[in-house]
């Protein structure tokens, strides 16, 4: 046990609680059957309507797919991180918005739980884990996004913080129940004075929500621009202590989330490769299947090797996080850096194998290609990841 935010906190369950081989294999088969069956039906509806079907969230919740990773004490299944990532790999072969729901809800509890009182856990964490409430991670700003450079501020007046500033690119920020939001105390700068707050999306005074969901890919997922002007937030909604905000937002969520996004790159690349293989085996040119042509075989071979190499690094990063390895942070950045670049290469080659056909929306590879571009900036651009890794190498941290 450890003391965090003035309350006794049970450390997350260890990898020793992982599912047995047979049980885990059965769960992977179940998820695969859902992704390739009902999941594909939902994907077609999302692309046709540009919105998530109302019943999708409930189906994911009722199947337990939103509570895979959280410990049992919070209402989750307690699946260890490396095993959970293998499930994320499968979900990522589906529509990007389905993956996004599973990814976000299976991750935000990690930021909230260690820093909350028992009362806060009951109010915020358990409803999120069990799929009764949706929490949106709210860090990025138009002029700041790495954490220490945020400009949104709060000032305390008695038992209330008054919130001022703007956030953007906030996934699920329109329809969520709570924003897990980072702001800084007025007058503070850099890494100091940042606080994390649970801000209710209930039409608070001075809060403006702008739907900014028209995106190139990841259709259906809502995104918000949020503006606050002296918006009142109870001090009781603070997560952790003042000055712990970056710790909550970066270490609690972003570190494992980067690894999860890296694994989502693996799953989406595998889907692109699958589509390329299927097309190559049925498409004929000049009396020959594309699959018989050496140039196409080379592209598929390169994709295979690229995917497997990136997957190995992602699983290494997952084990490092699960085991509290000192290299977990740099490995999370390295895994995302490598996986994102891999996904770019694989989807481009998969689209090329489709030729002109792949450019038309009637072919699934077109959606895969669009959705893959989002991973290039999700949870930090590759330029940021390279800075993290490069500094670790130069300072002897790895």
Question: Whole-model pTM above 0.85?
Answer: yes
What is the residue-averaged pLDDT of the chain? 92
Which pLDDT score is estimated for 8? 40
Residue-wise pLDDT for 18-34, tens only, equals 688 899 999 999 999 99
> What distance in Å separates the CA atoms of residue 142 and residue 166, rounded to the nearest whole number?
8
| Dist CA 104 CA 97 (whole Å) | 10
The pLDDT tens digits of the residues spanning 350-362 come to 999 999 999 999 9
Q: List CB contacts of 365: < 8 A, sequence separation 6 or more.
A: 272, 275, 276, 279, 347, 350, 351, 354, 358
Going by C-alpha positions, the residue among 17, 20, 30, 42 that lies closest to residue 87 is 30
Q: Residue 386 belongs to what H/E stretch?
A: helix 382-394
Provide the 3-class DSSP secondary structure of residue 379. coil
* Alpha carbon distance 289, 280 (integer Å): 7
Write the pLDDT tens digit of every residue in 132-184. Answer: 999 999 999 998 766 788 999 999 999 999 999 999 999 999 999 999 999 99
Give the pLDDT score at 255: 87
Going along the chain from its start, the domains and CATH numbers come out as 2-129 (1.10.540.10), 135-242 (2.40.110.10), 247-394 (1.20.140.10)
Output the pLDDT for position 3: 36
Mean pLDDT of 83-94: 97
Confidence of residue 271 (pLDDT cuts 50, 70, 90): very high
The three-class DSSP label of residue 189 is coil
Q: Which residues are catalytic?
A: 379
| pLDDT confidence tier of residue 380, bands split at 50, 70 and 90 | confident
Mean pLDDT, to the nearest integer, of 70-99? 96
d(CA 370, CA 340): 14
Q: Give the contacts of 134 (CB within 8 A, at least 6 positions apart).
A: 57, 105, 128, 172, 175, 176, 177, 178
């Amino acid at each position: 046990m450890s003391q965090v935010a003035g309350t006794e906190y049970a450390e997350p369950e260890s990898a020793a609680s992982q599912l047995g081989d047979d049980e885990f294999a059965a769960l992977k088969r179940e998820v695969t059957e859902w992704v390739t069956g009902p999941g594909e039906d939902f994907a077609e509806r999302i692309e046709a309507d540009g919105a998530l079907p109302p019943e999708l969230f409930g189906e994911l919740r009722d199947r337990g797919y939103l509570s895979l990773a959280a410990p049992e004490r919070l209402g989750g299944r307690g699946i260890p991180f490396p095993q959970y990532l293998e499930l994320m790999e499968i979900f990522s072969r589906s529509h990007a918005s389905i993956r996004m729901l599973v990814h976000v809800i299976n991750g935000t509890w990690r930021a909230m739980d260690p820093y909350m009182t028992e009362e806060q856990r009951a109010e915020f964490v358990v409803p999120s884990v069990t799929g009764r409430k949706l929490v949106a991670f709210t860090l990025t700003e138009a002029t700041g996004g790495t954490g220490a450079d945020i400009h949104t501020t709060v000032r305390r007046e008695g038992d209330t913080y008054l919130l001022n500033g703007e956030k953007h690119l906030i996934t699920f920020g329109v329809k969520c129940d709570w924003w897990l939001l980072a702001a800084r105390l007025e007058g503070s700068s850099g890494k100091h004075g940042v606080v994390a707050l649970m801000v209710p999306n209930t039409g608070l005074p001075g809060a403006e929500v702008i739907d900014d969901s028209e995106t190139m890919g990841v259709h259906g997922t809502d995104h918000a621009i949020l503006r606050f002007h002296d918006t009142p937030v109870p001090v009781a909604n603070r997560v952790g202590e003042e000055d712990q905000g970056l710790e909550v937002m970066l270490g609690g969520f972003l570190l494992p989330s980067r690894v999860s996004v890296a694994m989502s790159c693996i799953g989406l690349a595998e889907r692109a490769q699958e589509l390329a293989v299927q097309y190559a085996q049925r498409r004929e040119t000049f009396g020959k299947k594309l699959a018989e042509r050496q140039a196409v075989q080379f592209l598929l071979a390169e994709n295979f090797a690229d995917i497997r190499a990136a997957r190995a690094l992602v699983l290494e990063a997952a084990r490092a996080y699960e085991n509290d390895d000192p290299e977990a942070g740099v490995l999370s950045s390295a895994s995302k850096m490598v996986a994102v670049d891999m996904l770019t290469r694989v989807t481009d080659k998969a689209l090329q194998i489709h030729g002109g056909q792949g450019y038309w929306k009637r072919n699934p590879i077109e959606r895969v290609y669009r959705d893959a571009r989002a991973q290039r900036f999700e949870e930090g651009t590759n330029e940021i990841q390279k800075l993290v890794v490069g500094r670790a190498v130069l300072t002897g941290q790895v």
